[in-house]
Structure 1
Amino acid sequence: MSFSVGILYSSQSFLELVKENELNGADFPGIFTKYVVADSRAVLNTTLECKWVILKENNLLKVTAKGDLILNAMHPYEKLRIQIADIIEVTKPSWAPLIGYGRSEAVKYFSEEVLQCFKEAYLLEGYEQKVIEWWDKLAIISRGLFEDVRLEVGRKGETLSRQYEKLRIGVDPIWQAIESNFSGYDLLSQIDEENSEKLKIEVKATTSKTENISITITKLEWNVAKTSERNYIFHIWTFYPKRELFILTQKEMSTHIPINQGNGVWESVEIIFSREHLKQYKSTDIF
């Protein structure tokens, strides 16, 4: 199956043609050698494989509910986003698993044609909510549905931390977690309004209703925290019984971090805080 801007736009036009006309799938490639800007057979095969159209009796084509989603999307870039997601799910390109590690990681392996598709769909820049949701949906598909709830809660925490930082310093922090999972932190902010020195923030979030709050810190996150010292903090969000933010410095977190001993090397650590213990770190500037 082809993955190019020409195929995607030509497929959109093809769906409109099928919607408005009684069209025989077997005859279509013979009638049109090229359709819009793409090979007609490639357009037909793509729309069939992605189940945007189906063949009925007598080889007559019919637009499916999935095809209608594309046709009914308001903007051209929204149509492209639906198409790109469907093609990735159907074809499972070799770079698809990298989507779960952040868009910058996946983009490194895009061909020029694929890159152009993402550019025209406005998926490569910015933190618009629909863009983040699109990438998260693809990440869930690539990593498995068990990640769904955890990812949703984590993104909620990151979104709140971005809002918190914007109010604190008047500047939007960089949402590093969207770009890469290999950075060792989620947001890149600054010390305060007057001091533009970089501040790395690792965000943890939980919907736990128990007395104890559990978070997990990876070896990568801690290695970055150690090298950043005063320029690295942890945001811990809880959503029950009400929304609260607790902020810990690298030094305050260090007392809970294990050390390597003998032949043992830790990769991640679960830290369990009581709600009572966390009170001392509670932010009073919550919005």
Structure 2
Amino acid sequence: MKLSRRFIYGILIGILGVVLFSSKAVMVKMAYQYQIDALSMLLLRMLFAFPFYVFVILLYRKKQFAVQVGYKDYVWVFVFGFVGYYLASYFDFVGLTYIKASLERIILFLYPTIVLLLNKVFLKQRITKVQTGAMALTYLGIVIAFWDEVAMSGSNTYLGGIYILLSAITYASYLVGSGWLLPKFGVMKFTAYAMLVSCLCVFVHYSLVVEAPLFGYPWQVYLLGGLIAVFATVIPSFLVSASIKMITSSNFAIVAGIGPISTIVLAAIFLNEHLTMLQLFGALAVIVGICFVSLKTKR
């Protein structure tokens, strides 16, 4: 069967978006080499990303949707922005101070299985036998990769893994809970509002906790902060949305499987991180399991 040019372009755009998203963990770890703390690094990311999302809101401010938006809807936008972008990002950045970038991406890749479990508990959606088997394979892969890392790096790996798992849980909660708001705001406007909430939460958190000045780090830190904001946050969010529109979310689920692989490769190149054969086997089990879970999930 001959693939259309639009489908091929959609796959290529999706791959680029996934790879750019995957580079975030690597660049964060590179910045940590300059002795910057997680909250300050997260603040830099939000500072650089903030103007882009303000621009999106201004661009879409006059666009109206069929469903009326009320005061309570904006309250829920704040709640989901707090949970899905602020908490998820904060847990992720803290977790990266303890574990490898490649292991972080493998754990974060669990979020589709968490979405399934949350839908089962709160929305009473059925989990199929195929999905159950795929989830079992996925968590087995995590146990294999994680257990081997603990043996090599020590107990701090547990702490890092817990933070990254919390990041995956909060992001999955955002995905499950915020879906009903999308028709009211539209994807672009809702995402921009949620990201601005996240930015404001980070600004307040930093002002209350960190006393050290933000402008005393080497120039490489600010360069990495800008790269994370633009090339690992803003641009891939648009690329992924365009790819899903062109090839459907089911096909994109397969493309997304390249995420952990690209992180492993980038971490090996720029951080000299290397996974053992056992960890690579665990990562493969996670990728295969998530692909089956995603393909069998109704969107």
TM normalised by structure 2 equals 0.22
Q: Please state which structure has a larger fraction of its residues in helix.
A: 2
Larger radius of gyration, structure 1 or 2?
A: 1
Instruction: Return the structure number with greater relative CO, CA threshold 8 A, min gap 6.
Output: 2
What is the TM-score of this pair, normalised by structure 1?
0.22
